[in-house]
Amino acid sequence: MGRHTGPIEHHQGKPAQKLSNPVLLCLLGILGCLLETVCCCPAPCRCNNTEVDCSDSGLLALPTNLPLNTKNLLLFNNKLSSLPPGAFSNLSALQSLDLSNNFLDNLPPALFKELGNLSELVLRNNSLTSLDKDLFQSVPHLRRLDLSINGLSHVPLGLLDDLREVMWLSLANNRLHALERATFEPLASLQSLQLGGNPWECDCNLRDFKHWIEWLLYRGGKVDAMDCTLPKDLRGRDIRSVPMEMFNYCLQLEDENGSVSGGAGGGGPPCSRGAAPVPQPSESPVAVIPAPECMRQRYRPVSVRRAIGTVIIAGVVCGIVCIMMVVAAAYGCIYASLMAKYQRELKKRQPLMGDGDGDGDPEEKQISSVA
């Protein structure tokens, strides 16, 4: 029995040494991950797994050496005024990016290149006055986009063409006065649209977009209040409550503008999409007198009053016609009752008138004899 003790102990110790190797490797791996996280996290930022929080750090430029596995990047409440093209191109795993409350006034078209996994982008409260139409071309899976509290005066056609998965979009508190329907038609998944706090001009330029809003509401979408600032007749009124009949005059104005050019005091010709002022030829082969600049037609106050006046006039005419019909019916009833009374009186007098006539009706004679 003593001779087998050594080999048995040696045999039992060998597996114990093998079992210690995987445990050691796991510990080294965890330690390596922790060291990688600590080493790759920029000094002003706080890193937690796949989230990098660089908010409220007074940053003037984008931090370098951001972890490559970053999924959530928070850069709000800083002093960023510009970003280089492709600034986030090495963060292909990025899913959420918050750049709100900065001083960004211009975004290069290739800023979000290689961010194919980005689903949420917040650009709230910056100094953006315009956006390149190719800005969101590389983020087809974006679901939430916040562009509120900026200085945007228009949304370029084609900007939203690739955002077919966007479900929530905010353009509130900008300087928008009109929007084109074609710009928003690619948003097939849109469920909520924020448009409040803009100086909307509820004229013919907003008619087609109102049609699109009604379609969005019809399929279950949500749109916040769009209060009109112009014309004066609709100031403070939500365009969602303005009936489409108020915009019927636009078709008439389009016909008038198509056939009549600007007269005295009317300024230049109306503007059309893609049209440029055409120079007018003169008698001199060298001198060319440019045509007056196309001016934006402002028929809003007059047109709204015209629409309201038409409704009032139509109501008055219908009322007069109804009164005349009632009077004619009453006159007909009175005339019929008088004629019926006259016939009854005439029938009562016929027997008396027939006494002197020898050839009267036998029935009348019988009646007279009985009498």
φ, ψ dihedrals at 207, nearest 5°: -65, -50
Higher pLDDT pick, 244 / 308: 244
- How confident is the model at residue 194, as a pLDDT? 97
- How confident is the model at residue 76, as a pLDDT? 96
- Amino acid residing at 13: G
CATH label, 33-198, candidates 3.65.10.10, 3.80.10.10, 3.30.565.10, 3.20.20.210: 3.80.10.10
What residue spans define the domains of the chain? 33-198
Q: Which among 181, 177, 202, 178 is positioned nearest to 303, based on CA atoms?
A: 202
Tokens, residue 205 = 């330029």
Residues of 185-198 as b/e, b for ≥16 C-beta within 10 angstroms?
Answer: ebbeebeebbbbbb
Query: Which residues neighbour 248 within 8 Å (Cβ) at sequence distance 6 or greater?
Result: 307
Tokens, residue 95 = 């899913």
- Bridging pattern class, strands 46-48 and 72-74: unpaired
Mean pLDDT across the stretch 169-189? 96
The burial class, CB within 10 Å (0-12 / 13-18 / 19+), for 31 is exposed
From CA 39, how far away is CA 300, in angstroms rounded? 63
Mean pLDDT computed over every residue of the chain: 78
7-21, 45-59, 313-327: segment of lowest average pLDDT: 7-21
Distances (CA, A) of 72 to 41, 51, 185: 13, 5, 30
pTM of the entire predicted model: 0.61
Length in residues, the chain: 371
From CA 138, how far away is CA 147, in angstroms rounded? 17
Q: Which among 206, 264, 208 is positioned nearest to 237, based on CA atoms?
A: 206
Beta strands in the chain, from DSSP E residues, in sequence order: 46-48, 51-53, 72-74, 96-98, 120-122, 144-146, 168-170, 192-194, 200-201, 222-223, 228-230, 280-281, 288-289
Distances (CA, A) of 248 to 216, 232, 253, 300: 21, 18, 9, 12
Instruction: Work out the angle at residue 284's Cα, subtended by the Cα atoms of residues 279 and 290, and round it to the nearest 5 degrees.
Output: 20
- How confident is the model at residue 231, as a pLDDT? 87
- How confident is the model at residue 23, as a pLDDT? 58
- In this prediction, residue 340 has a pLDDT band, given cuts at 50, 70 and 90, of confident
User: Which pLDDT tens digit goes with each residue over 240-257?
Assistant: 888 877 777 776 666 666
User: Which pLDDT tens digit goes with each residue over 269-307?
Assistant: 444 444 444 444 444 444 444 444 444 443 344 444 555
